[in-house]
Amino acid sequence: MPSGGPSSALPLVVVPGMLCDADLWSDVAFPEGHPVRHLELTKPDIGAMAEDLLSSVSGPFVAVGLSLGAVVAFEALRRAPERISGLCVMSTNAGAPRPGQYAAWRVMDGLIDDGRFADVVEQTLPGMFPVPRPPVESAERYRRMAYAVGPEAARAQLAAQATRQDATGTLRTARCPTVVLSGTRDALCPPDFHRVIARAVPGAGLRRVAGAGHLLPWQNPSAVSAALRDLLAQVRETPPPVSRASAHITPRLPEPLRRARTRRPT
């Protein structure tokens, strides 16, 4: 059942990246008074994932996404901009997939199909951290999270990755307060990707998080917490987005003017 909160306490819908779950955000101090809904990514295309996001709560909300989760938020913004009152994205790329990515996703899907999901986890692990060989406890934490997601959801996420499209056009039409976070040591989604996003969204703020890699909420949770607090403060000062339906309603003329419009000239 969709759930939400009053307008003074907008819900936050939090969307993880590939092979990630709610544990990705467990170190983040979410702003008090705002319901937090964690979304699981289990559908094989970005559009279906975006529909899951939009149906997870009723009414307007703040979308928070990392990597693939941010891509899903971009698609939700394209489909229902009036629903998204604020946007916080990090460790992501708004561009279309590159040929090398398609090939890598096919290889990973084949490994999972052959029962070698553990190999996929190990292949992806180095890119999650600021250094290729992270501390043992950090690597083990990532493994636990990836195995909790599991091979079936991982294959759906790989399939969804291949349905991504360039979202920069959508971002140029965004009118909600937006903050973009970029880890300076993110090998998968380097700072240049985030500069493109921040330039595309009118009025977006870009925050560089020194020393952080791809799993930014683990590597600097306080930076994410601060960005969310500041974003919600900005949302409170911003008029709510206008729905598409109300934006296209023709104003009803007063009765005398309606009669004048329909009266034939003599």
Q: Are 165 and 96 in contact (CB under 8 A)?
A: yes
Express as a percent the part of the chain with pLDDT over 70: 87
pLDDT band at 7 (very low <50, low <70, confident <90, very high): very low
If one compares 118 and 7, the residue with the highest pLDDT of the two is 118
pLDDT single digits (tens) 214-234: 999 999 999 999 999 999 999
| Rounded-to-integer distance, Cα 217 and Cα 11, Å | 19
What pLDDT is attached to residue 2?
A: 39
pTM exceeding 0.85: yes
DSSP-assigned beta bridge partners for residue 183: 209
CA distances from 105 to 66, 73, 120, 162 (A): 18, 21, 10, 8
Is the pLDDT assigned to residue 1 strictly greater than 70? Answer: no
pLDDT single digits (tens) 146-188: 999 999 999 999 999 999 999 999 999 999 999 999 999 999 9
Residues 6+ away with beta carbon under 8 Å from 44: 155, 156, 159, 160, 163
Q: Are 96 and 166 in contact (CB under 8 A)?
A: yes
What average pLDDT does range 32-61 have in this prediction? 97
CB atoms within 10 A of CB 68: 25
What pLDDT is attached to residue 196?
A: 98
pLDDT band at 242 (very low <50, low <70, confident <90, very high): low
* Strand order across the 205-209 sheet: 36-38, 12-15, 61-66, 84-90, 178-183, 205-209
Give the chain's mean pLDDT.
90
Is the pLDDT assigned to residue 21 strictly greater than 80? Answer: yes
SS3 letters across the chain? CCCCCCHHHCCEEEECCCCCCHHHHCCCCCCCCCCEEECCCCCCCHHHHHHHHHHCCCCCEEEEEECHHHHHHHHHHHHCHHHEEEEEEECCCCCCCCHHHHHHHHHHHHHHHCCCHHHHHHHHHHHHCCCCCCCHHHHHHHHHHHHHHHHHHHHHHHHHHCCCCCCHHHHHCCCCCEEEEEECCCCCCCHHHHHHHHHHCCCCEEEEECCCCCCHHHHCHHHHHHHHHHHHHHHHCCCCCCCHHHHCCCCCCCHHHHHHHHCCCC
